[in-house]
């Protein structure tokens, strides 16, 4: 009888993965282990076994790219967030029981286990999921319908609330690392007409095909969101140059045109796209989305798909007039009042140079001088607020640093449009700052 502990043949090493990466890849493809890899709370990779537990097995249902908490039953979300935070802190807490949401809306009791790993200088979490249904049976609230509110059920794309959250994270990273991001607002014209002429699985198949087409036009790190029947948004959290966003937009236009090339003209879907870029076209989610929509409307109704960059900055610039330092802006601290007056003067000078057609070199110098004045002013504020009992002083300093970072981003690519944004941004910030009553109470 052959021994169970000794074999007459040497083990075949070629049947096993040759490296840790190969082993991870094999586990990811297998149905043996249900696990996900998390980065900043988002699922960046998941195994087939986990998708099977959650019932996300059809082409239009996805896990990767979505926040972990979107997969967790609402009563358990806070505890799961704390569990993941403990893993990142390397606390001893390595297991947690909770309920996940199945694709059909029912609840699944699971046991979470995990650990943190270091990847390219950042920490990620490997989360192992054990399905407890064979041992504990269905949960008492399994008949209560729940939904993945974070993404569209048909395409697997992010919904508007999740898009805003992704944009918040992307813009914070872009501001910190002084890089560009882009938003592409897409209108698939006549898609609603086409879907209205189809029924049942045919309509779903068209939407799934469109989803795969859009997904193939972007990178894994990008976010695709669906805002309505025919409207989508692409979030590109990091781009090198402004034209990179245009390349992606052109790719989408061409891919959609090719997909519906054989469709009858009245139902042929085309893509019209508006593109806005952070920080040139805005530094907030709302402004970037609004500017992208304006650009999208400017090319709507064409016979073929098109895309356009926003030019809202120049349009808004004409409505800006010079600032005047009013008596109500006075704080009562001579040093701070002098710096406030200097900021108003330098901001007006930048506006005058911009409206007068000054060259980019002169505009860049104006902007550098304002940034230096702001740096001095924020240091002055810090001295006055350092020993203050004012509860908002720490938040004020944080906002000040963010504001400087945004102006530095604009300084990386100086042209009329980017400086127009800087002027608008300065005006949006400066007047509320001068009128900040809470700040005056400190002094």
Give the CATH number of domain 21-136; options: 3.30.450.20, 3.90.226.10, 3.60.20.10, 3.40.140.10.
3.30.450.20
Rounded to 10 deg, the angle between the 360-385 and 334-355 helix axes is: 160
CA distance 79 to 286: 31
C-beta separation of 144 from 95 below 8 A:
no
Residues 6+ apart with CB under 8 A from 287: 276, 281
Of 20-34, 61-75, 147-161, 250-264, the one with minimum mean pLDDT is: 20-34
For the entire predicted model, the pTM comes to 0.51
C-beta separation of 298 from 275 below 8 A:
no
Could you state, in order of their start, the residue ranges of all structural domains in the chain? 21-136, 160-310, 327-442
The pLDDT of residue 89 is: 80
Residues 6+ apart with CB under 8 A from 259: 209, 210, 213, 269
CA distance 217 to 333: 56
How many other CB atoms are found less than 10 A from the CB of residue 172? Answer: 12
DSSP 3-state assignment of 97? strand
Res 19 pLDDT > 80: no
The pLDDT of residue 31 is: 52
**In 93-125, which positions are buried (b, 16+ CB within 10 angstroms) versus exposed (e)?**
eeebebbbbbbeebbbbbebbbebeeeeeeebb
CATH fold label, 160-310 = Alpha-Beta Plaits (3.30.70)
Helices of type H across 318-443:
334-355, 360-385, 393-411, 416-434, 437-442
Res 135 pLDDT > 80: no
Q: What is the pLDDT of residues 166-215, one digit of tens each?
A: 898 898 888 888 788 999 999 999 898 888 888 778 888 898 899 999 99
Of 122-136, 181-195, 401-415, the one with minimum mean pLDDT is: 401-415
Distance of CA 54 to the CA centre of its chain: 24
Q: What one-character-per-residue DSSP string does 39-88 give? A: ETTEEEEE-HHHHHHTT--STT---TTSBGGGGB-GGGHHHHHHHHHHHH
Res 74 pLDDT > 90: no
Q: What is the pLDDT of residues 426-441, one digit of tens each?
A: 877 787 788 764 455 4
CA distance 266 to 408: 48
CA distance 395 to 16: 54
CA distance 235 to 173: 13
Residues 6+ apart with CB under 8 A from 112: 80, 83, 95, 96, 97, 98, 127, 128, 129, 130
The pLDDT of residue 376 is: 92
* pLDDT range class, residue 155, cuts 50, 70, 90: confident
The pLDDT of residue 12 is: 41
Res 149 pLDDT > 80: no
Q: Which of 57-66, 132-141, 375-384 has maximum average pLDDT?
A: 375-384
Residues 6+ apart with CB under 8 A from 135: none
Distances, alpha carbon 291 to alpha carbons 231, 280, 285, 393, in Å: 15, 11, 10, 33
CA distance 104 to 398: 43
Helices of type H across 356-392:
360-385
List the structure tokens of 177.
């690392």
Pairing between strand 270-278 and 231-239? unpaired
The pLDDT of residue 3 is: 33
CA distance 274 to 110: 43
Helices of type H across 190-298:
191-196, 201-215, 242-259, 285-298
List the structure tokens of 179.
């890089």
* Residues written for the chain: 443
Output phi, psi for 177, to 5 deg: -95, 5
The pLDDT of residue 263 is: 81
The pLDDT of residue 386 is: 60
CA distance 73 to 56: 16
CATH fold label, 327-442 = 1.20.120
Distances, alpha carbon 167 to alpha carbons 174, 286, 291, 313, 436, in Å: 10, 10, 15, 20, 28
How many other CB atoms are found less than 10 A from the CB of residue 353? Answer: 18
Res 278 pLDDT > 50: yes
* pLDDT range class, residue 342, cuts 50, 70, 90: very high
CA distance 220 to 156: 14
Q: What is the pLDDT of residues 95-108, one digit of tens each?
A: 788 989 887 778 88
> Could you tell me which residue, 374 or 385, shows the higher pLDDT?
374
């Amino acid at each position: 009888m052959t021994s169970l502990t000794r074999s007459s043949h040497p083990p075949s090493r070629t049947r096993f993965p040759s490296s840790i990466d190969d082993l991870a890849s094999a586990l990811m493809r297998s149905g043996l282990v249900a696990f996900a890899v998390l980065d900043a709370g988002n699922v960046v990779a998941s195994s087939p076994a986990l998708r099977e537990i959650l019932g996300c097995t059809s082409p239009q249902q996805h896990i990767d790219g979505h926040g972990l908490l979107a997969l967790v039953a609402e009563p358990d979300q806070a505890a799961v967030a704390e569990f993941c935070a403990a893993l990142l802190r390397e606390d001893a807490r390595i297991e947690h029981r909770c309920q996940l949401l199945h694709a059909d809306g029912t609840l699944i009791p699971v046991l979470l286990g995990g650990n943190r790993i270091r990847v390219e200088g950042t920490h990620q979490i490997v989360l192992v999921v054990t399905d407890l249904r064979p041992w504990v049976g269905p949960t008492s609230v399994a008949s209560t319908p729940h939904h993945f509110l974070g993404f569209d059920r048909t395409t697997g794309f992010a919904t508007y609330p999740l898009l805003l959250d992704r944009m918040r994270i992307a813009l914070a990273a872009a501001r910190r690392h002084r890089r560009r991001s882009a938003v592409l607002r897409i209108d698939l014209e006549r898609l609603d007409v086409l879907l209205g002429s189809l029924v049942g699985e045919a309509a779903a198949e068209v939407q799934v095909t469109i989803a795969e087409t859009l997904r193939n036009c972007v990178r894994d790190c990008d976010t695709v969101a669906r805002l309505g029947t025919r409207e989508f948004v692409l979030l590109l959290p990091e781009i090198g140059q402004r034209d990179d966003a245009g390349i992606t937009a052109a790719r989408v236009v061409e891919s959609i045109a090719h997909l519906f090339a054989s469709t009858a003209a009245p139902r042929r879907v085309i893509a019209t796209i508006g593109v806005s870029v952070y920080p040139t076209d805005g530094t907030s989610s709302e402004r970037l989305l609004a500017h992208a929509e304006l650009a999208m409307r400017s090319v709507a109704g064409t016979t073929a798909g098109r895309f356009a960059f926003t030019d809202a900055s120049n349009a808004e610039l004409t409505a800006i007039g010079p600032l005047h330092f009013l008596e109500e802006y006075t704080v009562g601290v001579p040093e701070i009042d002098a710096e406030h007056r200097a900021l108003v003067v330098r901001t007006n000078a930048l506006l005058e140079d911009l409206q007068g057609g000054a060259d980019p070199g002169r505009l860049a110098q104006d902007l550098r001088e304002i940034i230096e004045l702001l740096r001095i002013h924020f240091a002055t504020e810090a001295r006055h607020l350092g020993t203050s009992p004012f509860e908002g002083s720490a938040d004020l300093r944080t906002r000040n640093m963010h504001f400087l970072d945004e102006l530095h981003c604009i300084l990386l690519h100086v042209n009329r449009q980017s400086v127009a944004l800087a002027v608008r941004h300065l005006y949006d910030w400066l007047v509320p700052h001068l009128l900040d009553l809470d700040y005056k109470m400190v002094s």
